[in-house]
Every structure is written in structure tokens, then in C-alpha cells.
Chain A
């Protein structure tokens, strides 16, 4: 069955044939793009991950089996990268989900005009390029000349080496990543919150429910699909979001404190153009996050609550 309506004119065989082809023709540009620029490279990466090759036509790829994968997993920084990835996610969740949720709920009653002004302003970080955001925060947080340390100094504190101290660096990157996103999450949650049927709230208030009870029993469940969606993309993409800042600002340091799974695969794999390393890194990344995505989608489906 290729069309929902048959043309009223008598179909000629050729026209029938073309009609059957029609969906494929429409799909072709996009499909071709994805195959050429995403799926073919992925399949090639899978194949090449079992070889060592310098990509030059003159030399032959050398089969090395699982060696590339073993090399990556044996990196002493690998477990640190995994641990850091969890820290990034756990650190981003409050900034990307919890705080925006609180803000969305506690600011819902503001007059529309000021709300729109706030919206416009807190959205600005989202449209700034990551490189620019990195440059600006690097400047603000500079240990010698940055404004933040100037203010801290004026208050009597020692300058903090935000990006250069192994204890603070990862939190600084998390902060910058979160800074970029917080407007986005806040707005999404505000919009979802505004969509909640006001009669439900009215009814609850008339029953004498307190604000907290209203939040807990009505708002949160109805916002659950949005909250879960935001949580899911934070988990799946959090490491990727922070990637640009890691590369531009800390290169994974100091002492590997800011590297994550994405960055270590970049550092040892993708950026080096060593085909074996890069391909193995690519497959690890895609399989790992693919599996994670699958699990998360299942969970989100199960726990989402919809207004009925």
C-alpha cells in the first residue's frame, strides 16, 4: 500500500510505478545524507576498529583484533573518565532540572510583562557560541585578573584557581555548562507548568490544600514527562555538552580531573587520527550511549504520568 488515495484518473502503468516510488524519492535527499555522512562512517568505524592503519594508500591495515579496545580500557585515566562522567551528570542534574523546576514553579505568578523580560534575558546564554562562552568565563575566572577573583579579593578571600585546581576544576566546568542551559530548562518547565489545567489547581485550593501539597500532588506528576525528558537528555548528552569547554579550557586537566568519557575518547582517539584508536573509541561511545538511551527511554515511558 503506497498511497492513501488513488488518483481518480485511469492510472497508467508508469504513473503507478512512479507513485509507488514517490515516498522513496521524497526521502532520498535526507536518507542519502544520513547514509553517506553517518551510517557509512559508523559501519566503516566498526570494521576499522579491529585494525591498525595509518590511512595511507601505500600501507596495509594490520589486523589486531580487540587490541584497540583493550588499549583504551587499559588507559589509567579510563576509570577516572568514567567516574567523572557520573560526576558531570550528577552535578548537572540539579542545574539542568531541579533548580529550573523550582524557579518555574515559584515564579509562575509573576505578571506577564516582567516574566517575558526575564525570559528574554535568561535565554541569552543559550544562543552564545560555546567557544565564546568558554572565552568569557575563562576571562571572568582568571586567577590573576578575572573579575570574580577581584571581587573575592575585595571581600577578603584568597583568589580561587577555578579552572586550575584539581578540586574545583570539574565543578567550574559543570557550572559553565549549566549556565548555558539553565535558561532553556527554566523556560521549558515554565511553559509546561503554565499548561497545567488551572481548574485542577483551583479545585485543590478550594479543598484547602497547601501550596506544597499542590506542588507535590498535582504539579509534579503533571510535569513528570517534561522533567523526565530533561533528565534523560541531561544524562545522555551532559558529557557531550561539557565537551567544548573541556577542550578549550582545561584539556581534561588538571590531573585528569575534568576529563570524561567523551573527552578521553577524543583525546586518545578522535583527535589523533589514529584509525584503530578512533574507530574503537567511536564504537564504544555509540554502543555505550545507545544502550543507555534504550534503558532510559524505557524508564521514561514507564514513569511518565499524563493528564487524563
Chain B
């Protein structure tokens, strides 16, 4: 399918002739949507009764107004169930068109569910034009084997929220938040001792992880460890640097400053001013700010690292993936994706839901986020660490969920359950490795 250009006549022919040898395979998406088409948009923000759902509905409505030929049918599925639901519907021959895929299942969705690589569907220059202005580290999140399967949509990185009032009460300097784990430990101990509040908690292990290992991976990467080898064939739970990082968390627990509690409980404690530090997704920001207002001084610091090394933040969240094979629907889906990942899209996502803008330019642009950032300076440390971000590694194969569960269970046991760290992680590695694809 040759792309029609506005140039008529010979120059166009010559241009096409020059281009022809370079396009090994034509892009599959239709050039435009000329007749009404309906696409299904599987989305997990729609499945919760809160800000996420409202903002998403708003975005969809705005998009449909600007694109009268495209009707977007939102399908609400919980984030934990997204990949399974996509799989089930595809198995039943009801192909979803575009989906908000949590990054941990990206490999599965790409290899098993036939996610469409953007390079295969959309002409290269259109892609390049759209990608301009996006942080390279962000674009990288959706790439597997040099192809872009997902456009980072709602995602964030771990940041250290802390209660400045508790810091002061414990004799610490709130303007100098902890920058590495040793400092976190010292600060948490001081807070726990003098104020009786919780010292530290985070979306890392046990209940706080809420079933996803993204933030934990960041801690491991910060120590030079990780979960997956570069060739994505071997699990590295038993890597010495990984074990060391988990041991560090275990030490925090043994010092009495890091307790096992579900995600919503640790946030509740933070909101009631009874938690010193909380390492969690920056998407939590709006809720935390709202609760802290008039109650305590909430501040944000970058993710702590090990020793002198800068931390390696990983991303949480989701990317938008095209699953449809129909050319017109692919085009419609991409139009939706373009809107959702445009300056306007990220403005809503950041200011109303709390995720990160993949386009840093809008942060200082008065037409978009400048005023909001002015009023909510807490987002800045997050933006600053975006460049160091590395992707949340997705386990390959059909048993990826079981692998992730085995890993998280092992870490919970090692950190909070008193089990020997090395033994537990090694056992987990060998059991999970047998579940990797051959």
C-alpha cells in the first residue's frame, strides 16, 4: 500500500520509485479512517471507581469528539486480569483492538497473543514524528527485540515520599532526605524510636508489592542485580547482587522499621501521618497530597541507591498495545494511541491521575502542565530520575505469572518470614527456571 502524498504527478512517482526498494514490507495500517469504525479499548483504569476511571472516560470522550468516525468501546478489566482477559477473548475469536497492557505481561502479549509491532503497522516517518519529544528511556519500555510493541501510557517510577514533620520530630533534616539505603535505615530507626510511627515501607515485598515486582526489580538493579539475564533465557534470582539487595531489605525488617502490610494499609498509615517514608509509585502522589493537606508536610525524594551509586528506577504501569489485524482498526487504534500519548493526553494523565508525562516538554509549557507543576512541585524529583529508568523486565513464556508469583513469594519469605535469603532465592530460581520457555 503506497502512501498517498499530496504531491501529484511525476515527482510523486519518482519519490515512490526511490522509496520502493527500501520498504521490504508495507505497513499494515490503513492510511486513514474514512468510514465509521468501532474499536474495543481494554483498559484497567476504567475498572476502579476513582480518579483513574473518570480521567480515562474524559480522554476517550475528547478523542471521539475530535474523531467522529471512530467509536471507542471501553472494556473495563482489572489490572491483574488484563493479560488473561485478552488471552481468553482472543481464544474465543473476539480480538481486542487496543489494550492497556501492564508491562509485566508484555513479553507474553507480544510472543503469544500477537501484539502488533508499531514498526510493522505504521509508516516509519509517522512513527518518528510522533515519538519526537518522548524520553528515549520511556520509548524503550515498550521495546522487545528492537521492535516497539507498546507505547508507554500510564506509568511511573518509585519515589520516596516522606513526612517532613516526623523527620523534624526525630531530629532529622527534612531538606536532606536519605539518598541511599543506609541513610534510609538510619532515618527510619530514628523516626521509629522517637515518634513511634512506622519507619519505612514500600511497594517492594510482601503485601506492599500487591502482586507486582516492578519496584523490587528497581532495587535489585540499583545494586547491580536483577531478575532476568540479558538474553532473557535465564532467571537470576540467585545472583549475588540480587541476594545482597534482598538481604538489605531483610535487615530493615529485622531492625524493626519495615513491617509486612498490604499496599492499602501502608498508604493509609502514610495518610494518617504515622509513616516516616514510603517508597512507592509516583502515581500515588495525588491521593497522598490530598490526604496530607493540612495534616502534615509531605515531600518527595528520588529513589535511594546503594552506597554512592545512583539508583536505577524501574517503571510501573502499562503501555498501549495494538492487537487487531484489521488495517482500518489498526489505524483507528493508532489514532487513539496518538491522542492518549500526545501532549494533551499526558497532561490529563499526569495532573488528574498522577502518572508520569513521557513528554518532558509539557512540564514547563503553560498550555499544558506548567501551572500544575507549579502548584505541585512534588513531581520534579520523579522527572529528574526518568533518564536513568530501566524497563520492568517481563518474564517470557506462558508461565510468566507463575514465575513472578514464585519470585514474590520467595522474597516475602526471605524478607519477612525469617527464611535464609540465599537458600530461598536459589530454590525459587531453580523451580521457576523450569517454567521458562524452552
Contacts and interface: CB of A to CB of B under 8 A. Distances in A.
Interface of A: 52, 54-59, 71, 74-77, 142-145, 161, 164, 166, 250-251, 253-256, 267-268, 271-274, 276-277
A255 B265 CA distance: 16
Contact of B402 (A57, A166, A268): A268
17 contacts: A54-B112, A57-B93, A142-B268, A144-B269, A161-B261, A164-B207, A164-B261, A164-B265, A251-B211, A253-B206, A253-B207, A255-B416, A255-B417, A273-B87, A274-B399, A276-B398, A277-B402
B405 interface: yes
A55 B416 CA distance: 37
Contact of A273 (B84, B262, B416, B435): B84
A54 B207 CA distance: 29
Contact of A76 (B113, B265, B409): B409
Nearest to B91: A55
B286 to A, nearest CB: 21
B401 A272 contact: yes
B431 A76 contact: yes
Contact of A256 (B91, B269, B409): B409
Interface string B395-412: 000110110011001101
Identify whether the interface residues of B are mostly helix, strand, loop, or mixed.
helix
Given A52-B398, A272-B84, A274-B398, A267 B260 contact: no
Given A164-B260, A255-B412, A273-B87, A54 B431 contact: no
B206 A255 contact: yes
Given A76-B431, A272-B84, A274-B398, 17 more contacts: A54-B91, A54-B113, A56-B91, A56-B112, A56-B113, A58-B114, A142-B268, A143-B261, A253-B207, A254-B206, A254-B261, A255-B412, A256-B413, A268-B402, A271-B81, A271-B84, A273-B84
Nearest to B261: A164
B401 A274 contact: yes
B398 A75 contact: no
Interface string B70-92: 00000000000100100110110
Sorted nearest first, the 10 A-B pairs with minimum C-beta distance are A55-B91, A273-B84, A272-B401, A255-B417, A54-B112, A164-B261, A254-B260, A54-B398, A273-B87, A268-B402
Contacts of B409: 76-77, 256
A273 B89 CA distance: 11
Of the candidates A77, A164, A268, A276, the one having the most CB atoms from chain B within 10 angstroms of its own CB is: A164
B298 to A, nearest CB: 18
Given A56-B87, A271-B84, A277-B399, A254 B207 contact: yes
Identify whether the interface residues of A are mostly helix, strand, loop, or mixed.
loop
Contacts of A57: 91, 93
A219 to B, nearest CB: 45
A55 B405 CA distance: 22
A254 B260 CA distance: 8
A144 B399 contact: no
A77 to B, nearest CB: 6
Contacts of A76: 406, 409-410, 427-428, 431
Contacts of A55: 87-88, 90-91
Contacts of B434: 71
A144 B274 contact: yes
Contacts of A56: 87, 90-91, 112-114
A76 B428 CA distance: 8
A161 B268 CA distance: 14
Nearest to A255: B417
Contacts of A267: 405
A75 B413 CA distance: 14
B112 A59 contact: yes
Contacts of B406: 75-76
Interface string B49-64: 0000000000000000
A103 B330 CA distance: 66
Contacts of A277: 399, 402
Interface in B86-102: 87-88, 90-91, 93
B272 interface: yes
A164 B409 CA distance: 15
Given A74-B431, A254-B260, A274 B402 contact: yes
Contacts of A274: 398-399, 401-402
Nearest to B272: A144
A271 B265 CA distance: 24
